């Protein structure tokens, strides 16, 4: 049975469906980047509120900006913006619900002005983002907005047909300013340390290039709350679609599968109000920083710690890596010895239990997250999640051996062939510059980390270089698994 508004009442009891009247829900949130994570996380929280009879003015209008988003537009139109969220427990049980909080979807390449006007409308109070770490167009080493990006240059031309998130959002803010409306809140939900600060910096920089007075108004009147978001959400595979159909006789063209665990810590900083997220389990706080550092440096950095070593050792699924005692021991040692000392006290969190839970989450065989997914876009991830741990410990005289070995494992992986000589598909926006450097490192062991655009001044630190070259030599001479075994000594 195809999923749409007309078939909701016909699904079997095992699938929960919205019981609220979706025709009464209006869009107060415009969201850029309607991928798996947004649909498993923020949209789910709004759906929970709607199910409780709250937040009818906080429905979501999704926006696609990239050409690849056309498929999502087609699916959303066919299914009246409904989709299925399946939470997969490690024992094989599923908790399955149809989510109804997204009520509209706009595809910017077809009609950018419709997207702009949607945000400029008085009813829109929040513009939220899951545009990935690379979507903010800034350098991880300098923090500077890339003003030379051709897409940015094009969007700043007078009369341009706008194509970037920055161009669309800032034009909507300009129209609100001209109409005497307050700016909407820009709420980042991406895995970047200080994501609200980064969003403020990048959007106001673009606005300043467009109109300095507009940038001044956004800075004075706008809001960019920081947030920490967490739910492991793999890319939807054909297997998920087929299993959903087999279990429930439900035909969903693009469902989402994820783990049962979810967390959202959100700074209470909004210009025009917000949904009562605290009613559905969101931690609304004054300072997100301690939670953010915990998640980025324990969970996200641990994903990087397992993925390159895991792939080189022959693993292709994340749970297989995490269930290997050698890898579990390595991850816990990294978290305990190197990451945890760089954290701030985290109110209400038992860090020991949190770290134990991370290993259990990684080990969930039902999620079937791929190692390759974690290895993708490393040049966005490593500088934001792992290098800060190394830098802090270098400053404080703390240990860096394990984190630096992870950097070396990335460099080895970037050579583009595994230990059996089989090709590795490198997925990274800096692939064209990183792979040639990786291929030089057997003759020049520091070639990869000499890339200052990625690693900054770490190449100048003798302790880091010594640890790095030692780990890289072991990877070349002995392989990934033997290198990990050597790190235990």
CATH code for position 124: 3.40.50.720
* Position 391 confidence tier, pLDDT thresholds 50, 70, 90: very high
Residues 454 and 412 reside in one and the same domain: yes
- At 141 the pLDDT is 74
Residue 416 has pLDDT above 90, yes or no: yes
Domain membership flag for residue 1: no
pLDDT digits (tens, 9 = 90+) for 306-331: 999 999 999 999 999 999 999 999 99
How far is residue 419's CA from residue 135's CA, in Å, rounded to a whole number? 33
Domain membership flag for residue 235: yes
The residue among 157, 202, 207 whose CA lies nearest residue 177 is 207
Phi-psi region of 15 (alpha: psi -120 to 50; beta: other; left: phi over 0): beta
Residues 135 and 195 reside in one and the same domain: yes
Report which of residues 163 and 348 the model is more confident about: 163
Residue 87 has pLDDT above 90, yes or no: yes
pLDDT digits (tens, 9 = 90+) for 342-387: 999 999 899 999 999 999 999 999 999 999 999 999 999 999 999 9
Distance from chain centroid for Cα 67: 19
Residues 297 and 240 reside in one and the same domain: no
Of 228, 254, 285, the one marking the end of a domain is: 285
Q: What is the dihedral of CA 248, 249, 250, 254, to 10 degrees?
A: 90
CATH no. for residue 380? 1.10.1040.10
Residues 65 and 50 reside in one and the same domain: yes
- At 239 the pLDDT is 94
pLDDT digits (tens, 9 = 90+) for 191-213: 888 999 999 999 999 999 999 99
The residue among 275, 188, 263 whose CA lies nearest residue 227 is 188
How far is residue 262's CA from residue 91's CA, in Å, rounded to a whole number? 18
Mean pLDDT of all residues belonging to the chain: 96
Domain membership flag for residue 255: yes
Residues 227 and 314 reside in one and the same domain: no
How far is residue 165's CA from residue 203's CA, in Å, rounded to a whole number? 9
Residue 477 has pLDDT above 90, yes or no: yes
Q: How many CB atoms lie within 10 A of CB 220?
A: 8
Tell me what the mean pLDDT of segment 231-238 comes to: 94
Residues 152 and 237 reside in one and the same domain: yes
Domain enclosing residue 454, as ranges: 289-487
Residue 168 has pLDDT above 80, yes or no: yes
Q: What are phi and psi of 470, to 5 degrees?
A: -65, -45
Residues 114 and 235 reside in one and the same domain: yes
Query: End-to-end CA distance of the chain, in Å?
Result: 57
Domain membership flag for residue 2: no
Residue 220 has pLDDT above 80, yes or no: yes
Of 285, 305, 324, the one marking the end of a domain is: 285
Residue 12 has pLDDT above 70, yes or no: no
Give residues with Cβ within 8 angstroms of 382, minimum separation 6: 304, 406, 407, 410, 454
Q: Are strands 83-88 and 256-258 parallel, antiparallel or unpaired?
A: parallel
Residues 281 and 354 reside in one and the same domain: no
Q: What are phi and psi of 272, to 5 degrees?
A: -130, 35
Tokens of 350: 């038992």
Residues 343 and 404 reside in one and the same domain: yes
Domain membership flag for residue 3: no
How far is residue 436's CA from residue 364's CA, in Å, rounded to a whole number? 36
Please tell me the pTM assigned to this model. 0.89
Give residues with Cβ within 8 angstroms of 396, minimum separation 6: 341
Domain membership flag for residue 461: yes
Long-range contacts of 431-439 (CB under 8 A, 24+ apart): 434/379, 438/411, 438/412, 438/414, 439/415
Of 246, 267, 285, the one marking the end of a domain is: 285
- At 13 the pLDDT is 74
How far is residue 323's CA from residue 153's CA, in Å, rounded to a whole number? 48
Residue 442 has pLDDT above 70, yes or no: yes
CA atoms within 13 A on the CB side of 428: 26
pLDDT digits (tens, 9 = 90+) for 169-190: 999 999 999 999 999 999 999 9
Domain membership flag for residue 321: yes
Residue 407 has pLDDT above 80, yes or no: yes
Residue 148 has pLDDT above 80, yes or no: yes
- At 142 the pLDDT is 81
Query: Which residues are paired to 423 by β-bridges?
Result: 417
Give percent of the chain above pLDDT 90. Answer: 95
Domain membership flag for residue 44: yes
- At 230 the pLDDT is 96
**Range list of β-strands (E), 263-392:** 263-267, 283-285
pLDDT digits (tens, 9 = 90+) for 61-80: 999 999 999 999 999 999 99
Domain count for the chain: 2
How far is residue 143's CA from residue 137's CA, in Å, rounded to a whole number? 9
Give residues with Cβ within 8 angstroms of 92, minimum separation 6: 366
Residues 276 and 307 reside in one and the same domain: no
Residues 324 and 356 reside in one and the same domain: yes
Residues 266 and 336 reside in one and the same domain: no
- At 14 the pLDDT is 80
């Amino acid at each position: 049975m195809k999923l749409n508004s007309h078939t909701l009442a016909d699904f079997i009891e095992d699938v929960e469906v919205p019981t609220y009247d979706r025709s009464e829900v209006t869009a107060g949130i415009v969201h850029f980047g309607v991928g798996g994570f947004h649909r498993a996380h923020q949209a789910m929280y709004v759906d929970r509120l709607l199910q409780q009879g709250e937040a009818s003015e906080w429905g979501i209008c999704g926006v696609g900006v990239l050409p690849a988003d056309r498929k999502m537009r087609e699916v959303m139109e066919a299914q009246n913006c409904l989709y299925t969220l399946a939470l997969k427990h490690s024992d094989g049980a599923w908790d399955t619900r149809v989510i109804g909080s997204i009520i509209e979807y706009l595809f910017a390449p077809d009609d950018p002005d419709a997207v702009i006007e949607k945000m400029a409308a008085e009813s829109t109070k929040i513009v939220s983002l899951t545009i990935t770490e690379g979507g903010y167009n800034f350098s991880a080493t300098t923090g500077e907005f890339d003003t030379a990006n051709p897409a940015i240059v094009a969007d700043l031309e007078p009369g341009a047909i706008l194509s970037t998130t920055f161009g669309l959002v800032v034009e909507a803010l300009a129209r609100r300013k001209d109409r005497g409306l307050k700016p909407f809140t820009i709420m980042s939900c991406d895995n970047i340390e200080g994501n609200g600060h980064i969003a403020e910096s990048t959007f106001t920089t673009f606005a300043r290039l467009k109109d300095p007075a507009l940038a001044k108004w956004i800075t004075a009147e706008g809001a960019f709350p920081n947030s920490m978001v967490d739910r492991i959400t793999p890319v939807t595979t054909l297997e998920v679609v087929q299993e959903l159909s087999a279990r429930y006789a439900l035909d969903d063209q693009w469902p989402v599968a994820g783990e049962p665990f979810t967390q959202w810590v959100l700074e209470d900083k909004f210009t025009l109000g917000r949904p009562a997220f605290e009613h559905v389990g969101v931690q609304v706080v004054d300072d997100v920083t301690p939670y953010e550092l915990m998640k980025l440096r324990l969970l996200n950095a641990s994903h990087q710690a397992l993925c390159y070593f895991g792939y080189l050792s022959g693993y292709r699924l994340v749970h297989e890596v995490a269930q290997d005692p050698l890898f579990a021991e390595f991850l816990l040692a990294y978290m305990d010895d190197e990451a945890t000392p760089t954290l701030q006290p985290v109110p209400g969190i038992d860090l020991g239990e949190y770290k134990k839970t991370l290993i259990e989450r990684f080990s969930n065989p039902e999620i079937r997250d791929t190692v390759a997914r974690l290895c993708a876009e490393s040049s966005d991830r490593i500088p934001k999640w792992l290098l800060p741990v190394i830098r802090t410990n270098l400053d404080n005289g703390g240990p860096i051996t394990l984190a630096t070995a992870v950097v070396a494992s990335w460099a080895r992986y970037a050579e583009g062939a595994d230990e059996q000589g089989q090709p590795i598909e490198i997925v990274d926006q800096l692939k064209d510059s990183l792979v040639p450097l990786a291929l030089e490192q057997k003759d020049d062991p520091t070639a990869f980390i000499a890339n200052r655009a990625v690693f900054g001044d770490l190449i100048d630190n003798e302790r880091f270089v010594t640890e790095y070259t030692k780990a890289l030599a072991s990877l070349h001479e002995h392989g990934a698994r033997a290198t990990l075994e050597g790190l235990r000594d």
